[in-house]
Amino acid sequence: MENNKSTGKQIHSNRPFLYTTGIVSRLPESLTNKDRSGKPEDDGGFNLELARRQHEKFIMTLRKLKVDLSELDADEERPFCCYLDHMAVVRDGVALIARPGGGTEEEAQVDEIRRILRDDLRQKIYEIEDADATLDGGDVLFTGEEFFVGISKRTNSQGAMALAKAFPNYSVSSIKITDQLHLKSMMSMAGPGILAIGRSKEAKSALQQILQKSNFDYCTLTLPDDEAANCVYVKGFLLHCTKQEYPESYKVFEEKFPNDVRIPIPNSELHKVDGGLTCRCILVQKPF
């Protein structure tokens, strides 16, 4: 692979994210105005019906992009059942079943995700063997070339090591975070080789760690809002924040990407209960 002579790092191959299938879930009535720690939010109240309409637009957009989705019914016993990204890390036909540090509710949901990935999507299942390991998919950023894992309240170093064992063909680097729920709460991939990142102190710290540890060169798209840096790139299209929610960040997307590849997706309500765009699904990429 070619190297950048000025940095000595490898040049990103710019391979597209060819997601072909995935898993989503409906929103339950039990999803109320609480964050994932159970504390009430003070941001104007949570509107479940609006959240469902916004989530439906997300699902319909993926289907229009020819992503074949398995859709789970809402589970009233699991208020956050719609946050599926945390349950598994899937690459190249291998599905690592995560072990989120979020309690027994999420541990129970993992069983259903495992079954779908194995039986319906024909992925090879890899389990975490270390009983002390915690790993949340929301802390796992895959760039197309390597993994970065946020060491957070929900993911520890043993979890990062388990991921490295499951995907030996990729470099895995740990990124320490303190004030965010997940690594992807403040960054994501906005395209092949393009890292979208927020502007907060925490985001800048994470970016500095990534630049120090990465094996590849990346373009950086800096956004005024950390939350807006959570976006989904699929099949050449970028699903990102709306103008109403984050006008300044929207302006950056508008300036940097053509209109025909951008799809604004509303997330105002699920954001009130700690949800980002990447949280809402597990996407399975076609192996190269």
pLDDT in tens, the chain (288 residues): 344 545 556 766 666 688 999 999 999 999 875 555 444 444 458 999 999 999 999 999 999 999 999 999 999 988 889 999 999 999 999 999 998 875 545 566 778 899 999 999 999 999 999 999 999 999 999 999 999 999 999 999 999 999 999 999 999 999 999 888 899 999 999 999 999 999 999 999 999 999 999 999 999 999 999 999 999 999 999 999 999 999 999 999 999 999 999 999 999 999 999 899 999 999 998 654
pLDDT at residue 178, as a whole number: 87
Reduce the DSSP state of residue 243 to 3 states and report it: coil
pLDDT at residue 34, as a whole number: 54
CA atoms within 13 A on the CB side of 276: 25
pLDDT at residue 5, as a whole number: 43
Query: Is residue 34 classed exposed, middle or buried when 0-12, 13-18 and 19+ CB atoms within 10 A define those classes?
Result: middle
281: which strand partners?
none
Spatial contact of 18 and 287, defined as CB atoms under 8 Å apart: no
Q: How many CB atoms lie within 10 A of CB 8?
A: 9
| 22, 24, 50, 198, 287 from 63: Cα distances, Å | 10, 11, 20, 28, 20
Residues with active-site annotation:
182, 279
CA distance linking residue 207 with residue 35, whole number of Å: 26
pLDDT at residue 18, as a whole number: 84
Q: Tokens at residue 181, please? A: 């729920």
* Closest by CA position to 264, among listed 274, 273, 272, 252: 252
pLDDT at residue 189, as a whole number: 97
Q: Tokens at residue 84, please? A: 């599926």
| 29, 76, 114, 122, 269 from 129: Cα distances, Å | 35, 30, 15, 21, 36
Domain residue spans of the chain: 15-285
Check if CATH label 3.40.140.10 holds for domain 15-285.
Answer: no
Listing DSSP states for 261-276 in one string gives GEEE---HHHHTTT--
Q: How many CB atoms lie within 10 A of CB 56?
A: 12
pLDDT at residue 110, as a whole number: 79
Q: Tokens at residue 87, please? A: 């349950």
Spatial contact of 284 and 55, defined as CB atoms under 8 Å apart: no
Strand order in the sheet with 19-25: 68-72, 19-25, 282-285
CA atoms within 13 A on the CB side of 202: 19
pLDDT at residue 139, as a whole number: 97
